Homo-oligomer: A and B are copies of this chain.
Amino acid sequence: MTTIHLITPVTTRGIRDLKEIAHLESPSLSFTHSLLDRGPSSIESEFDEALAVPDTIVRAIEAEQAGADAIIIDCMGDPGLKAAREVVKIPVLGPSETSMHLAAMLGQKFSVVTVLNSVKPMLANLARVYGVYEKLASILVVDIPVLELEQRFAEVQSALANSALQAVERDGADVIVLGCTGFLGCAAAIEEHLQSAGHDIPVIDPIPATVCVAEAVAKAGLRHSKRTYATPRAKEIIGFNIPRTAV
């Protein structure tokens, strides 16, 4: 039995409903979930991300202590991915890193369609650090803030489909990565839109895809390298209640 803990690294209650990934559950896979107590209501900048990381780290430590087999950080900025890997031994996956590597495996070039221009530099830098920058065709935006995605759903769907088509036809993308985990569930409609324009192209929905890869990593007995992600040295820290046994 594998338990994957999903950390949605914002403080907005209700923003993530596990029902959206319930179809991935099985007798051998279950989910647990947490949000942040402290942090931003959504992540759309380096600033937002910075405030999300401390509590994300706490959630990761708690999840490992509670017996989770793997952790997924539910944001395409992969906030706290590297820090969390330092403080736990179980695999921690970021949907951005995972989706970009999957995309690189499924076709020659990929584009990311995300929410706002403000996250484009962040995503481009992640592609550099993850080593797949050469595979990145372009980053496009629907220009809709995260907290408006739900109420403007039709508009989101339409903008995603149009951007994806532009990514393919103008920028040469062979694979589309949805660039915000708030787009969960939109992939199929985009694939159909591309198909109707003659393009048989996979659209990666980051959270379901990362859940499946996290399950695979756990099943294969893999984990991150402690040579890259060494356990932090013990030292005095003021003002964050990091669980004691962690570091």
Chain A residues near B (Cβ < 8 Å): 11, 24, 26-28, 36-42, 44-51, 53-55, 57, 80, 82-83, 85-87, 93, 97-98, 101-102, 104-108, 116-118, 121-122, 124-125, 128-135, 145, 147, 168, 174-175, 199-202, 204-205, 208-209, 211-213, 215-217, 219-230, 232-233, 235-240, 242, 247
Q: Which residues of chain B are within 8 angstroms of A222 by Cβ–Cβ distance?
A: 102, 106, 202, 204, 209
Q: Is the CB of A106 within 8 A of B204?
A: no
The distance from the CB of A228 to the nearest CB of chain B, in whole angstroms, is 4
The residue in chain B whose Cβ has the minimal distance to the Cβ of A117 is B230
Q: Is the CB of B235 within 8 A of A40?
A: yes
Bound together, the chains give a CA A117 to CA B172 distance in angstroms of 11
Identical copies of this chain, number: 6
Q: Is the CB of B227 within 8 A of A201?
A: yes
The distance from the CB of A95 to the nearest CB of chain B, in whole angstroms, is 12
Q: Which residues of chain B are within 8 angstroms of A230 by Cβ–Cβ distance?
A: 45, 117-118
Q: Which residues of chain B are within 8 angstroms of A51 by Cβ–Cβ distance?
A: 54, 57, 237, 240, 242
Q: Is the CB of B41 within 8 A of A235?
A: yes
Bound together, the chains give a CA A69 to CA B28 distance in angstroms of 20
Q: Is the CB of B213 within 8 A of A200?
A: no
Bound together, the chains give a CA A223 to CA B72 distance in angstroms of 22
Q: Which residues of chain B are within 8 angstroms of A128 by Cβ–Cβ distance?
A: 128-129
Candidates B37, B50, B238; contact of A53 at CB < 8 Å: B50
Q: Is the CB of A86 within 8 A of B45?
A: yes
